DNA sequence: TTGATAATGAAAACCATTTTCACTAAGCAT
DNA sequence: ATGCTTAGTGAAAATGGTTTTCATTATCAA
């Protein structure tokens, strides 16, 4: 059923039918069916720039299609990650987060995670200026470790403004 | 029982009694007891540079002190993370990894995670050359997001040499 | 339209981690 | 040293995100 991760990709162009058409092509190209649940889950991810948990997605999807189960959400997400359409992250709060891989921003994410209140701040905008640098680093890594970088994530753990303030009051 | 994360730290010097003495001081300073399980767990982490899971630590500890339970390992690790003595990581394989925070290397870690075979390669050596850069980035983040960076982790997800090879053979 | 089978959903299983609670031992006061 | 207070511990149970099972459904090539 599940195919190997390594499949040829169709060209990265929206093609006729917009994103949906492109997704369909990707699925067909990998020998998968482009089913309703898969469409709806992709749509949900496409509609936000936030990092959603499986349950977030399930709840959002559930509003339009109450018949789609949590199991399917998990299975679809796993498949999407395998296909490289979605990135999976872990901020250490015990639940994975998912984000659609968009061509518009470089593959590389930057997050600030507050170790006190668990808030996650998306700092991708900052990261964009580093694109060149990252590319260099990826090349170095590819050479030194014989490793093909597909995605990259940088997490800064520390205290957010609010929690940092509380700390100061403590002392 | 558990104190707030933000406590004053004693000077970062080994002092009399080596690492053990310093740890004891840290514990006392925070109002915690420096118990046998806590010593043994710290010793275990100190003896390796690998990123161990809670179970890894439990098994290692269990050889010398079979009476130390897994629960205590979890509780101690949580405390050590809170105290800033240990870093907790997540590579997306469903179990957390722990590493002793050493003064010798900059607070900042770099890992390559193979999305196919799940192998984790430690690339800290590479990261060391970036220290200056990272410091700059931390400063920028502190200013822009009003965020106090405490630790930083960069993960490159992709295909390791072996899996990358398999992929090529596929095509 | 139809048939083969990939995909789905509900329920059960899984498993890392956390909580509960009765018991133990660290370390301060005596 | 000795006893006392209470932080710390361990075993077992609970939790909760994720995965597996299996009977049913829906996709799509022919």
Mean local confidence (pLDDT), B136-156:
88
CB contact under 8 A, B5 and A116: yes
Mean local confidence (pLDDT), B82-110:
85
So what's the pLDDT on residue B33?
A: 96
Identify all chain A residues contacting B145, using CB atoms and an 8 Å cutoff.
112, 121, 123, 160-161
Which CATH number is A105-171 given?
A: 3.30.1490.190
Long-range contacts of A164-168 (CB under 8 A, 24+ apart): A164/B146, A164/B147, A164/B148, A166/A116, A166/B6, A167/A116, A167/B5, A167/B6
Q: What is the mean pLDDT of chain A?
A: 83
So what's the pLDDT on residue A122?
A: 85
Q: Which fold has domain B1-103?
A: Arc Repressor Mutant, subunit A (1.10.10)
So what's the pLDDT on residue B16?
A: 53
Å between CA of A16 and C1' of C16: 45
> What is the CA B93 to chain-centroid distance, rounded?
16
CA–CA distance, A157 with A118 (Å, rounded to integer): 10
The answer to whether the beta carbon of residue A11 comes closer than 7 angstroms to any atom of strand C is: no
Q: Is the pLDDT of residue A6 over 60?
A: no
Q: Is the pLDDT of residue B36 over 70?
A: yes
Mean local confidence (pLDDT), A64-79:
97
More confident residue, B165 or A77: A77
Q: Which two tokens stand for residue B163?
A: 């899996």
Q: Is the pLDDT of residue A82 over 60?
A: yes
So what's the pLDDT on residue A152?
A: 86
Mean local confidence (pLDDT), B10-25:
69
Q: Is the pLDDT of residue B82 over 80?
A: yes
CA–CA distance, B144 with A51 (Å, rounded to integer): 21
pLDDT above 90 as % of chain A: 44
Edge-first strand order for the sheet with A52-53 is A52-53, A96-100, A86-90
DSSP string, A62-99: HHH-TT--HHHHHHHHHHHHHHTSEEEEE-SSSSEEEE
Nucleotide nearest to A69 (CA to C1'): C9
**Residue A47: CB partners within 8 Å, gap ≥ 6?**
none
Identify all chain A residues contacting B147, using CB atoms and an 8 Å cutoff.
112, 114, 121, 156, 158-161, 164
CA–CA distance, B100 with B108 (Å, rounded to integer): 12
The secondary structure element, H or E, covering residue A60 is helix A54-64
Q: Is the pLDDT of residue A33 over 80?
A: yes
- Please state the φ and ψ torsions of residue A53, each to the nearest 5 degrees: -85, 165
CA–CA distance, A53 with A50 (Å, rounded to integer): 10
Domain with CATH 3.30.1490.190 in chain B: 105-171
Pairing of strands B86-90, B109-114: unpaired
Report whether A139 contacts A157 (CB < 8 A). Answer: no
Report whether B84 contacts B150 (CB < 8 A). Answer: yes
Q: Is the pLDDT of residue B14 over 90?
A: no
CA–CA distance, B38 with B44 (Å, rounded to integer): 10
So what's the pLDDT on residue B67?
A: 94
Q: Is the pLDDT of residue B144 over 60?
A: yes
More confident residue, A103 or B64: B64
Ranking A130-139, B61-70, B82-91 by mean pLDDT, the lowest is A130-139
So what's the pLDDT on residue A127?
A: 66
**What band does B122 get if pLDDT is binned at 50, 70 and 90?**
confident
Most A CBs within 10 A among B86, B98, B139, B158, hence the mutation to make, goes to B158
**Residue A54: CB partners within 8 Å, gap ≥ 6?**
A70, A73, A74, A77, A95, A96, A98
Q: What is the mean pLDDT of chain B?
A: 83
CA distances from B26 to B22, B56, B84 (A): 6, 25, 10
So what's the pLDDT on residue A66?
A: 95
Residues 9-48 of B with CB under 7 A from strand C: 27-28, 33-36
The secondary structure element, H or E, covering residue B112 is strand B109-114
- A37 to chain B, closest Cα gap in Å: 24
DSSP-assigned letter for residue B104: S
Domain with CATH 1.10.10.10 in chain B: 1-103
Q: Is the pLDDT of residue A74 over 70?
A: yes
């Amino acid at each position: 059923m599940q195919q190997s991760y390594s499949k040829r990709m169709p060209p990265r162009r929206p093609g006729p039918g917009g994103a949906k058409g492109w997704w369909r092509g990707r699925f067909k190209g990998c020998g998968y069916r482009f089913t309703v649940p898969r469409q709806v889950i992709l749509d949900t991810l496409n509609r936000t720039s936030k990092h959603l948990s499986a349950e977030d997605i399930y709840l959002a999807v559930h509003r339009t299609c109450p018949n789609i189960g949590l199991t399917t959400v998990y299975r679809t997400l796993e498949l999407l990650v395998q296909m490289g359409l979605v990135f999976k992250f872990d901020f250490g709060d015990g639940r994975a987060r998912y984000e659609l891989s968009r061509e518009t921003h470089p593959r590389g994410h930057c997050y600030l995670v507050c170790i006190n209140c668990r808030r996650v701040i998306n700092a991708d905008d900052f990261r964009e200026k580093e694109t060149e640098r990252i590319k260099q680093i990826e090349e170095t890594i590819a050479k030194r470790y014989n490793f093909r970088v597909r995605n990259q994530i940088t997490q800064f753990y520390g205290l957010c403004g609010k929690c940092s303030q509380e700390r100061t009051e403590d002392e």
